[in-house]
Amino acid sequence: MSNVRSNINRARRMVDGRIYDNFALELQALENSIEKGVRFRDMPFRLQSDLRQALADYRAFIEETWSPSV
């Protein structure tokens, strides 16, 4: 569980903490990001996959639990 939270936090930092209306744009921002001088595309494939999945899981959680205040 802590690894999932770690990946979510890492992915969120890599997109500057933004939550995009369009998930495809959020993934694009992640894939164009640089962390500590290392481009996303130069990271190990498994890590890339984990970070993409973390964003997708976080998005699903937000959409499931978020309720707009009226």
For the segment 55-69, what is each residue's pLDDT rounded down to a tens digit? 999 999 988 898 776
Looking at residue 67, its amino acid is S
What is the reported pTM? Answer: 0.86
Q: Which residues pair with 38 in a beta bridge?
A: 35
Looking at residue 30, its amino acid is L
For the segment 17-50, what is each residue's pLDDT rounded down to a tens digit? 998 989 999 999 999 999 999 999 999 999 999 9
What residue segments make up the domains of the chain, in order of their start?
Answer: 4-65
| 8 pLDDT higher than 60 | yes
Helix (H, G, I), strand (E, B) or coil at 20: coil
User: Cβ neighbours of residue 23 under 8 Å, at least 6 residues apart?
Assistant: 55, 56, 59
Give the CA diameter of the chain. Answer: 44
